[in-house]
């Protein structure tokens, strides 16, 4: 039987991690969940629940084709499922793309994985990345979140 404190954490969590055919190492998941929840709070958003689904390129390509009618690989797809002011979301992350992007950018897998996670939650907070201006703002916010999380 879990201790009352571990049960309390599970009940209060609004952030969930799921793995499909891949299992990236996510260290300090409890701290990451708390940090994600704090980002929503700082952004003035009420988080009801968010599911992160870590998968392979093939699965994310299928989702991209089926739901977005895009026929290319991507590292992340965020779905805002909210029907009220409370945020409900699903974020699919391709571990294959994250590994490749980390290699190309010369950064660690851990850093790139967290950047992509934060990118997804920023989308659910209302940030966009379609224009150059929006991409620049998104990248600055990602860097800020990474620096705060890893300080």
Write down the pLDDT at residue 27.
84
Weakest-pLDDT range from 34-38, 70-74, 100-104:
70-74
8 against 94, higher pLDDT: 94
Write down the pLDDT at residue 9.
43
Q: What is the CATH number of domain 12-149?
A: 3.40.390.30
8 A C-beta contact, residue 44 and residue 84: no
Weakest-pLDDT range from 34-48, 62-76, 135-149:
62-76
If one counts every other C-beta atom within 10 angstroms of the C-beta of residue 51, the result is 16
Write down the pLDDT at residue 33.
95
Write down the pLDDT at residue 23.
87
The predicted-structure confidence for 44-61, as pLDDT tens digits, reads as follows: 999 999 999 999 999 999
CA distance 111 to 108: 5
Greatest extent of the chain over all pairs of C-alpha atoms, in Å: 52
Rounded mean pLDDT, 128-140: 95
Query: What's the number of CA atoms in the CB half-sphere (13 Å) around residue 3?
Result: 2
CA distances from 117 to 4, 50, 84, 124, 144 (A): 29, 11, 23, 11, 13
pLDDT-derived band at 69 (thresholds 50, 70, 90) equals confident
Domain ranges of the chain: 12-149
For residue 8, pLDDT over 60 is answered with no
Write down the pLDDT at residue 54.
97
For residue 96, pLDDT over 90 is answered with yes
Rounded mean pLDDT, 7-20: 73
For residue 130, pLDDT over 80 is answered with yes
For residue 4, pLDDT over 80 is answered with no
């Amino acid at each position: 039987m879990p201790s009352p404190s571990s049960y309390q954490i599970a009940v209060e969590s609004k952030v969930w991690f799921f793995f499909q055919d891949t299992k990236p190492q996510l260290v300090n998941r409890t701290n990451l969940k708390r940090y994600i929840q704090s980002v929503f709070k700082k952004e003035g958003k009420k988080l009801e629940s968010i599911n992160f689904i870590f998968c392979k390129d093939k699965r994310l390509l299928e989702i991209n084709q089926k739901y977005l009618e895009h026929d290319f690989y991507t590292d992340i797809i965020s779905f805002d499922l909210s029907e009220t002011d409370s945020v409900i979301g699903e974020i699919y992350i391709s571990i294959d793309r994250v590994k490749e992007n980390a290699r190309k950018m010369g950064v660690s897998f851990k850093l790139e994985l967290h950047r992509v996670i934060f990118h997804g939650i920023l989308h659910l907070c209302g940030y966009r990345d379609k224009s150059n201006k929006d991409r620049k703002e998104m990248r600055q916010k990602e860097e800020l979140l990474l620096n705060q999380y890893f300080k």
